[in-house]
Amino acid sequence: MHFILVERRLSFTRAENGEVEQARIELRYARIGGWEADSRSEAKGSMSAGYSRRLNTVSLAKDKVDGTTGAVFLTMQGGIPRGVRIGTYLMNEIVVWAKHWPDAKVQHIALVPGQAVDDDDRQTRNAFWRKFGLTLHFDDADERGGHSLPMKASELTPCRTWTANIAVIPLLKFAAQQQAAWNIERQRNDRLNNHAQASEAERQAQRRHPFLWAWKVFYQTRIEPFLGRFFALALLAGLTYGLGRSLSWWG
């Protein structure tokens, strides 16, 4: 199980009539804890997007809307494993945000050949954009370089495949869960410490009084079970005798 902390930063400016002139969203992510194979590396990064009312354009790949192309590099820093769908989750948040301006044009996405070093990278990148509704145009038959075709924000398609293996937990709830887990672990450690202290006290007693300890062990393992059976038989005999007297089985 992996824990990724995501911080959402929103900013905007308004015109005198109250309409949004420019808007920006930034999603910062950071790994909480580490993996055994990559415990020393940092795992953090960000994805951002922007909106311009003057250009009537949203950018999915950068917060500066200037009519030029933008690109998203899906290689996560710090060894965040592929296939966790963190990138899908973050881009879905951006797409949902961008659809607040349905008539806005979507700024072209650049498909950089450097993102498609091998077939696996190429297929992952192209499938990533297609599942959000983008139509891609390529400059080569291998689909390594190109750009997205013009479209409106209303045509973007939110993608929730990330829900198959990602659960979004509010920060306060997550902190409460971690505190509860810590309390349970502390209680467990306290019980183990108490048991260890009792064992150490028993060991010290054995060293100080070995013959007394030997007698205690002999009594608990040999005599005490016999006495238990003896008293049980005596009790049973007493009950039988009392029942027999009450039923006049004997005089």
Amino acid at 12: F
pLDDT of the residue at 232: 64
pLDDT digits (tens, 9 = 90+) for 74-85: 545 555 667 788
Mean pLDDT of the residues in the chain: 82
Quick one: residue 175, left, alpha or beta (phi over 0 = left, psi -120 to 50 = alpha)? Answer: alpha
pLDDT digits (tens, 9 = 90+) for 8-62: 999 999 988 888 999 999 998 888 765 545 555 557 788 899 999 999 999 998 8
pLDDT of the residue at 163: 92
Query: Would the pLDDT of 63 be above 60?
Result: yes
pLDDT of the residue at 205: 72
pLDDT digits (tens, 9 = 90+) for 156-198: 999 999 999 899 998 888 888 878 888 888 888 888 888 888 8
